[in-house]
């Protein structure tokens, strides 16, 4: 598993090799935010892994100041899901990373084959996408 982003002091942080189960809550969040067909597709796990990779890549992109111009100001506070799940779920960092994942996955062969919708909002309006994908 890859987890990346900035810590509370603004330092880049990447964790590689952490292993953990994909919880039903995470699966539900991905299905809801990416507008995936329900019931699950045949290539569901493959698709989920691409979305998760896109999401974590989103955190890496957020850590690059160049991308702040692309997405506008992102609230960089980090919330721990076990401490405050809703604050974590609706934080700028998580919603923006999901927007980035939606952009990436919708443009892949698999995403197009499965008709995963590309966000209709440009990067500076990623919050508009987030409002309709919560
Ligand atoms: Zn995240």
Q: For 34-43, how does the pLDDT look when each residue is reduced to its tens digit (9 = 90+)?
A: 888 776 666 6
- Protein residues with C-beta less than 5 angstroms from the ion ligand 1: 94, 97
Distance 115 CA to ligand 1 centre (A): 24
Distance 114 CA to ligand 1 centre (A): 23
Global pTM exceeds 0.95: no
Distance 33 CA to ligand 1 centre (A): 13
DSSP 8-state class, residue 118: P
Asked whether the predicted pLDDT for residue 4 surpasses 80, the reply is no
Helical axes 44-62 vs 24-34, angle rounded to 10°: 80
Distance 93 CA to ligand 1 centre (A): 7
Stronger pLDDT, 45 or 87, i.e. the higher one: 87
């Amino acid at each position: 598993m890859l987890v990346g982003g900035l810590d509370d002091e603004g330092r880049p942080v990447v964790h590689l090799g952490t292993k953990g189960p994909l919880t039903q809550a995470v699966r539900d969040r991905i299905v809801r935010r990416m507008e995936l067909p329900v019931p699950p597709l045949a290539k569901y796990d493959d698709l989920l892994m691409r979305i998760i990779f896109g999401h974590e890549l989103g955190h890496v992109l957020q850590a690059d100041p160049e991308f702040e111009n692309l997405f506008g100001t992102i609230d960089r506070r980090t919330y721990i899901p076990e401490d405050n799940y809703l604050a974590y779920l609706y934080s700028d960092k998580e919603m923006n990373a999901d927007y980035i994942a939606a952009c990436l996955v919708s443009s892949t062969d698999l995403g197009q084959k499965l008709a995963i919708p590309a966000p209709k909002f440009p990067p500076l309006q990623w919050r508009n996408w987030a409002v309709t994908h919560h």
